[in-house]
Structures are given as structure tokens and as C-alpha cells.
Amino acid sequence: MGCFRIDLTSPLELLFYGLSLLYAFRAVQLAQRIRLEWSGFKQPPLTQQKMAWVEQGAFLLAIPPSVFVHELFHAIPIWLFGGRVVNCGYGFYWGYVQPDRFFPVAQEWIISLGGTLGSLLFAAILFGLLYRNQSQSLRYFGFRSLRTLLFYSLIYYPLFTAFTFIGDWRTIYDFGTTPLLSGGTAVVHIAILLLFWRADRRGWFEMVGHKDRSGAATFEQLAADWRLNPQNLEVALKYVDALRVGGAPQQAKRVLTQILAQNPNMAEGYLQLAILQTSGKRNVPKTAVNNLEKALHLGLDAPRHRAIAHQLLSQYYGDTGKAQIALQHLDDAIAAASTVSDEFRNPLHKAQLYHLRSLAHQRQQQHERARQDAEQALALAQTAGDEKVVAAYQRELEVLHSRNGRA
């Protein structure tokens, strides 16, 4: 039937195939790594490394079979309506099916919608096969693949069609030709997106990763203690922090929101919320700034918590061009870090604060102060024994010496 022909005269098709080959090469590499570590990959605990592999696999490994099913579910109604597939393409991460004729409007709509229904069916079956698997890693793959496939089927692909006019959704949402079918689809589409958004916000697609079995056991005990006595604020905050560090930020936000609703004057809670709001972002958002200022106003008991709050505020004000305010917050952060007890003292954190203040002084053209802070940062890093950080701070200090004519 002349299927799987590559049109060498189509730049767009060649581009899609080229990108797909790059992704396919990465997929083969990932599959090979997982195959070599298969026994350990299936065994508990779910580590950060396994989580990273699953995150990659949710796209690189789950999308290709989904695309194949998508195109198959275009072809099936074409055959059922008496047509033939005269040309098709499959590039692992994209594809198309070309029938031999134009069909009546309703049939064209069904053919177009069939692909997305196939993708959703594949996502549901894959999740159904894995969500009760004994292996945490495979269960996590089921959850993350479901999230990825829902995103690409119901958000990315419709937007791609809207901006490029290429794809099924221009037919699915042709309200002028199929008003009832398109309108009904829009209602269902919006309802599914709302459920997806709500599930994602509640952390339904998340699982918690651990360094080793001991860490997993400690977390399970912490979670049990929290469920047994959720009013214990110390345990609750430790549980929130464990969720955040373990890679479940939405679950952490949900629990923390419940805690703050019952304890609106809990300074440490607002600090944790600000950290969650900043996590994964290049800049500190304004919502996090409000929570940081509220935490400081209510009073953070732990010096290391005050240091973190002032550090994040200095980043925000530095990014918004208010250098003097940023410097003041760095001064406060270093002062707080200097009073941290030996049990919680972290030379690298204090070194980072001096390094950040050195950069702030450089922006203010205060080179001598910048050099002094850079030397202090280097000395603290050397005390911690972190060779990479020492090398980075050494290079920074050399640049400052050069600017001051001391090279």
C-alpha cells in the first residue's frame, strides 16, 4: 500500500525524522543502561538515579509505542469506512496516515479523533499494567508515563496544531463543520484537563526517592509518625522536607498547606513553602518572597533557617536590580550562619554566602570587598574539602586579582 515512504522533498518531514533519530539514539542508550542494571533497577529502594532514568524513559521509551498506536487508530476507522491507507510515516516520536480519499464530515472527524483515543487507551493500559507492580521503579514508570502521555496527547498536540495548523485537532475542533461533535469533545477535553491539573497539583504522579534502603526505612517511619500524630509540628515539617528532597514537591505543598491552615503563625512553615515555590525555578517568585518576609516577621528560631531566608531574599532583590537591599540580606544571612551550632554548621553553605556577597560587591564595583569575601569563601571551601568548589572559587579569586592588578 506504499506505506512508510520518506518524502525527501519535504524539509519539514526530513526535520521531523532527523529529530526522531536523535531521540531514538538517546532512547537506545537509556534502554541499554537500564538493561545492564535491570536486576538492581527493579529492586528497592527507588533512588534518585532510578527516578532520573524513569523521567527520561517516560518520554524516550513510552512515546514511540504510543505514536504507533495513535497512527493505527487512525488507520482502523479508515479501513472500517471502506478506505485504504495509501501512505504513512512513523518516526518513533511522530507519524501520519494518508487515506486514499476524502470521507464524509462525520467520518473525517472520527478518523481524526481516533488517533488521540488510541494514545489515551495505550496510556491507560500501560498504567494499568504497572501501577500495582511490586517494583517501585516500574510503578513510578507507570505514573510518569501516564502523566507524559496525557500531557502530549491533550495539551502539547492540540497546541502544536493550533500554532502550526498541522495535526488532527484542526479537524476535531472544526466547530463550523461539526459543531455538536466538536462542542461535546471540548467539554470532555476540558473536564479531563481539570482532573489532570488537580491530580498533578496533589502530587498523584509523584513518588519519593531515597539514597539507600536505610533512607527508605527512615522515611517510612517518619511518614508513619506523621500519620499517627499530624499535630506534631516538628515531625510534620520533617515529613514535608523529606517529601521535597525525595522528589515529591506537590505532595509536600499539599501537606504543608494543611499544616499552615491549622497553624497560621508557623514561621518555619512559610519558609518551607517559599523553598518549595522556588525549587526548580531560576528566579525567586514574588509569592515566595511574601512567604519569606512573613517567616522572618513571625520569627525563625533556627539561625540556619534565617540564613536561608535572607539568602533567597538577596537573590530576589539582586535579580530585580536592588543591589543594596540584596547586600543587606546577604549580610544578615552571613551573620545568621555564623551563629549556627556545630551540629548544623555547614562550611559550604557559609562559603556560598560569602561567594554570593563577593559577586554582589563586584556588581557595585566594590572590588576590594569582593576580593575579601572571595578569599573567605575559598578558605571555607578548603575547610570543607570539596575540590570542585575550591577550584571554582580559586578561579573567581584569580579573576578578581587580575582586575585589581595583582595577577
Instruction: Say if residue 196 is in the same domain as residue 218.
Output: no
Query: What's the rounded Cα separation, in Å, for the pair 311 and 325?
Result: 11
Which range of residues forms the domain containing residue 164? 11-201
Is residue 44 reached through a cis peptide bond, with omega within 30 degrees of 0 on the bond before it?
A: no
pLDDT at residue 80, as a whole number: 95
Same domain, 182 and 222: no
Mean pLDDT by 10 residues, the chain (407 residues): 52 79 94 94 92 96 96 95 89 89 93 96 97 94 97 95 88 94 96 97 94 92 93 92 93 93 94 92 94 95 94 94 92 92 81 90 86 89 86 84 60
Q: What's the pTM?
A: 0.84
Q: What pLDDT sits at residue 120?
A: 96
How many domains would you assign to the chain?
2
Residues 72 and 177 in one domain: yes
Distance between CA atoms of 127 and 131, rounded to whole angstroms? Answer: 6
| Domain C-terminal end among 144, 172, 201 | 201
Q: Which 8-state DSSP code applies to residue 339?
A: T
Question: Where does a domain end: 172, 201, 230?
Answer: 201
Tell whether 327 and 193 lie within a shared domain. Answer: no
pLDDT confidence of residue 405: 52
Residues 133 and 220 in one domain: no
Same domain? 18 vs 62: yes
Query: What are the helix (H) ranges across 267-386?
Result: 267-278, 286-298, 303-319, 323-337, 347-363, 367-384
Write down the pLDDT at residue 6: 53
Assess whether 144 and 236 both reside in one domain.
no
Note whether residue 310 is domain-resident: yes
Last residue of a domain, one of 201, 225, 250: 201
